[in-house]
Structure 1
Amino acid sequence: MTTAPPPGCPAHAERVPLGGPRFQTDPTALYRELRREHGPVVPVVLPGDIPAWLVVGYRELHQVTTDATLFTRDSTLWNQWDNIPEGWPLAPMISREQPSILYTVGPRHQARAAVISDALEAIDPFELRRYAEEFADGLIDQFCATGETDIISRYAMLLPVRVLARVYGVPDEHGPDLVSALVDMVDGRERALAGQAHVQQTILALVAEKAQHPGSDVASRMLALAEKTGFTPADVAFDLMVMAAAGHQPTADWIGNTLRLMLTDDRFTASLSGGRHSVAEAMNEVLWEDTPTQNVAGRWAVRDTRLGGRAIAAGDLVLLGLAAANGDPQVRTDASVLTGGNNAFFSFGHGEHRCPFTAQETAEVIARTAVEVLLDRLPDLDLAVPAADLTRRPSPWLRGMTALPVTFTPTPALGGHR
């Protein structure tokens, strides 16, 4: 005699694979269909046939990210650890053993977050913009005389980590290798573990160096603050890894997605020649309509509960559908209308585990500077292909362009002089 599975059990429900070409082509329509067919909480399956829940409703996502007692970041509670295959490609994103801030809860998490925020708070915003302008000009100098380039591979994907490496204390020459490793790590594909290993080696070397020879950089400040609050250099290293991953790729995609919007959307194309909508407005629209971070893993249910009409079992993984929640029709009844600076999006998360405000400010300065410098240097920038031919990376986690080919009037390099 067999027993019927409990209603809403993710191991038996009709599950939706969290992946596939529609995350590249039209995730907005995909999330709309998922919401219509499954409601605000969707049963999904991760690589390796691992079940989870994807929250696509704005109200439900607010509940999950607000109630840290019921939906925790303590990944040791996951009821699927025994089923995770060796070499699982999502291991860099969902870890049982990594002692970083991502999986720290309660007062210890608050103290750890304060170390990060205080270290980032000391960054001089004018100095940060100067670094961003320096690297932006240097990258543009490499292609400005050609009249054409791919903005993603030759600019957006290279800039954020160079700036972050400088303020964190990483030598400039390590920036290019960090780019490749970070992209591999966060895409969650076959090279994810190798990318994670390279990032870890780089950050561990940085922390060891700064412990012996501190400087006026984020890593040195974090080490000093950690010593006062009972955290170890290893804690600092793991948190710097999180900061590098969370700071680089989403910011690179923020740059790329903003430029795509400004080059393809009638609401913004006029701004390239001084029209009515600014870079800041375009960046804010991207956080609503085309947010770089689509989905986040995640939270774990502390006990059996219900969410959005679903029975969630203790230990179930709940994925945060940030992009889907931003597009919830109960919140955005008319997606064609500009948000006018409304920042009630989930693009930086919500609750005590949201992206620290100082980190958000850092990302915004880098992204805005990147877009403004590019448009200042190449004012007649235009797409080199039809907008319909643009493609996205295959990741269901981060939404960014595979390429953004453009043309422009060739201009001479600045050679380091702005």
Structure 2
Amino acid sequence: MSAPDTTPNRALGCPVGRESGPVPLSGARFHTEPEQLYREMRQEHGPVLAVELAGGVPAWLVIGYNELHQVTSDPELFPRDVARWNQWPNIPEDWPLLPMVGRPMPSIYFTAGAEHRRHLRMVEPALEAVDPFGLRRVCEELADRLIDAFCGRGEAELVAEFAEPLPVLALGSVLGVAERDGPEFAWTMKTLCDGGPDAQQAYERFAEQMRNLVAEKKAHRGDDLVSRMMADPASFTDQEYALDLMAIMAAGYLPTADWLGNSVRLMLTDDRFASALGGGRHSIGQAMNEVLWEDTPTQILAGRWAARDTRLGSKVIRAGDMVLLGLAAANADPHVRQHLGEGVDPAHSGNSAHFAFSYGEYRCPFPAQQIAEIIARTGIEVLLDRLPDLDLALPPRNLSRRPSSFLRGMTSLPITFTPVRAVGG
């Protein structure tokens, strides 16, 4: 293959190779065979490649482990500052991926530098104050209630009846959200993340839900995350609180639900984790760590925006170009596997140097990671304690994935088991 062409395509605002052009960031293979797809991308284009999002919107996708480490370790050169995007004149208001990419706004997720750190100083202590033991008790009670609803049938659809409701209810308890509002929160977040025709409508409804929550907590403080955020002595507007809560809830809900669902799928389809189904809790931790390496819920993360012209890998990145973080592809980079030594697989050795939570200044805050792990792991432990003979109700090849190139979760996970009594009577 000839050397890559880095001549800028001014119509797109992003350099693309003339021989093969940008790679469409869509299609069934992202759901059916992502490992092989990323392998082909790496062989054909290298660790950084030009891609095309829905509507012909250009971006760069970083799939090399070292290159992704370079991007996430340099917040000055690659800030998470969507206002720098050189494509704003070409982005229609109804672009379905806009809720995932974001707009310039005063949120912990869409600000950079000192402004980002100002939000982080308010949000992170509020997350740290969540009692892990109290959260685990809440998750155990919620898991038992959800399982009680189907345990007598001998069959269930695990995603719809357990993996998705548990995180939204658990996070709702952390934020002080009324339990009755959980299903609508779940719908809005799933719909906006899937990037379909209803994504914008779902985003507006999600924003309204969070504005209402802020107003409610301003009137009636409690022992919850929102009230603790408002107790911070720094000055934040109601809009900033609402936007930060949207970031917390959206980043916490579906990735946690998919972490739970993907882990159970692994346990049901991989003989190495059969012991987890017999109560071997060490295997649950192994399975969950392997999912973060091999089947991470967040496959692609938007994004970073180049502060100036630079080179990354063999490509020329122009100021204002969007850089997408290929978390799943970087985890599978053969170079990182070779670096660990012959025959050593980080996913199986307990190594946690994956990019599942990103890295650097804009990584997922550690207390948020801990909250996600408590919810997912508690749900799995209660499920396997209650229903130890779980089995898939259909062949693994027939399982379906979420319709998103950014997120990788199950749309359904039908299971069978021996019916048992409800613990709640």
1:251 is paired with a residue of what secondary structure? helix
Task: Answer yes or no: is 1:97 the counterpart of 2:117.
Answer: no
The answer as to whether partners of 1:301 and 1:312 remain within 8 angstroms in 2 is yes
Over the aligned positions, Cα root-mean-square deviation in angstroms equals: 1.5
Please report how far the alpha carbon of residue 233 of structure 1 lies from its aligned counterpart in structure 2 after TM superposition: 2.3
Please report how far the alpha carbon of residue 182 of structure 1 lies from its aligned counterpart in structure 2 after TM superposition: 0.7
- Whole-Å separation in 1 of the counterparts to 2:346 and 2:274: 16
Task: Answer yes or no: is 1:30 the counterpart of 2:37.
Answer: yes
Q: Which moved more, 1:105-114 or 1:79-88?
A: 105-114
Task: Answer yes or no: is 1:289 the counterpart of 2:294.
Answer: yes
1:311 is paired with a residue of what secondary structure? strand
Question: Please, which of 113, 136, 156 is the counterpart of residue 163 of structure 2?
Answer: 156
Please report how far the alpha carbon of residue 274 of structure 1 lies from its aligned counterpart in structure 2 after TM superposition: 3.8
Please report how far the alpha carbon of residue 107 of structure 1 lies from its aligned counterpart in structure 2 after TM superposition: 2.0
Other-structure match for 1:125: 132
The one-letter code sitting in structure 2 at the alignment partner of 1:158 is P
Please report how far the alpha carbon of residue 99 of structure 1 lies from its aligned counterpart in structure 2 after TM superposition: 2.0
Q: Cα deviations across residues 241-285 of structure 1 (Å, max 9, x unaligned)?
A: 011000000000000000000000111123211459511111000
Q: Cα deviations across residues 97-139 of structure 1 (Å, max 9, x unaligned)?
A: 3321112111221121121111111111111011111111111
Other-structure match for 1:247: 252
The answer as to whether partners of 2:275 and 2:283 remain within 8 angstroms in 1 is no
Other-structure match for 1:265: 270
The one-letter code sitting in structure 2 at the alignment partner of 1:348 is F
The answer as to whether partners of 1:8 and 1:310 remain within 8 angstroms in 2 is no
Task: Answer yes or no: is 1:370 the counterpart of 2:379.
Answer: yes
Equivalent residues in 2 for 1:15-414, closer than 5 Å: 15-225=22-232, 228-275=233-280, 278-333=283-338, 338-414=347-423
- Whole-Å separation in 2 of the counterparts to 1:122 and 1:96: 30
The one-letter code sitting in structure 2 at the alignment partner of 1:178 is F
Q: Cα deviations across residues 379-417 of structure 1 (Å, max 9, x unaligned)?
A: 10111111111121120000001211110000111117x
Alignment TM-score, normalising by the size of structure 1: 0.95
- Whole-Å separation in 1 of the counterparts to 2:89 and 2:115: 28
The one-letter code sitting in structure 2 at the alignment partner of 1:325 is A
Q: Cα deviations across residues 4-23 of structure 1 (Å, max 9, x unaligned)?
A: x9526535431111111001
- Whole-Å separation in 1 of the counterparts to 2:61 and 2:361: 20
2:405 is paired with a residue of what secondary structure? coil
Please report how far the alpha carbon of residue 224 of structure 1 lies from its aligned counterpart in structure 2 after TM superposition: 1.1
Alignment TM-score, normalising by the size of structure 2: 0.94
- Whole-Å separation in 2 of the counterparts to 1:37 and 1:68: 28
C-alpha distance 264-8 of structure 1, shift in aligned 2 (>3 A): farther
C-alpha distance 150-336 of structure 1, shift in aligned 2 (>3 A): farther
The answer as to whether partners of 2:276 and 2:283 remain within 8 angstroms in 1 is yes
The answer as to whether partners of 1:268 and 1:282 remain within 8 angstroms in 2 is yes
The answer as to whether partners of 1:156 and 1:255 remain within 8 angstroms in 2 is yes
2:61 is paired with a residue of what secondary structure? strand
1:406 is paired with a residue of what secondary structure? strand
The one-letter code sitting in structure 2 at the alignment partner of 1:391 is S
Q: Cα deviations across residues 67-101 of structure 1 (Å, max 9, x unaligned)?
A: 01111111111111111123000111122333211
The one-letter code sitting in structure 2 at the alignment partner of 1:26 is E
The answer as to whether partners of 1:66 and 1:350 remain within 8 angstroms in 2 is yes
The answer as to whether partners of 2:337 and 2:345 remain within 8 angstroms in 1 is no
The answer as to whether partners of 2:292 and 2:356 remain within 8 angstroms in 1 is yes
- Whole-Å separation in 1 of the counterparts to 2:276 and 2:170: 26
2:252 is paired with a residue of what secondary structure? helix
- Whole-Å separation in 2 of the counterparts to 1:11 and 1:27: 25
The answer as to whether partners of 1:152 and 1:403 remain within 8 angstroms in 2 is yes
Task: Name structure 2 gaps, 5 residues minimum.
Answer: none
Task: Name structure 1 gaps, 5 residues minimum.
Answer: none
The answer as to whether partners of 2:16 and 2:50 remain within 8 angstroms in 1 is no
The answer as to whether partners of 1:268 and 1:277 remain within 8 angstroms in 2 is no
Q: Cα deviations across residues 341-369 of structure 1 (Å, max 9, x unaligned)?
A: 21100000101100000000000000000
1:293 is paired with a residue of what secondary structure? coil
The one-letter code sitting in structure 1 at the alignment partner of 2:372 is A
- Whole-Å separation in 2 of the counterparts to 1:173 and 1:143: 19
The one-letter code sitting in structure 1 at the alignment partner of 2:22 is R
C-alpha distance 318-270 of structure 1, shift in aligned 2 (>3 A): same
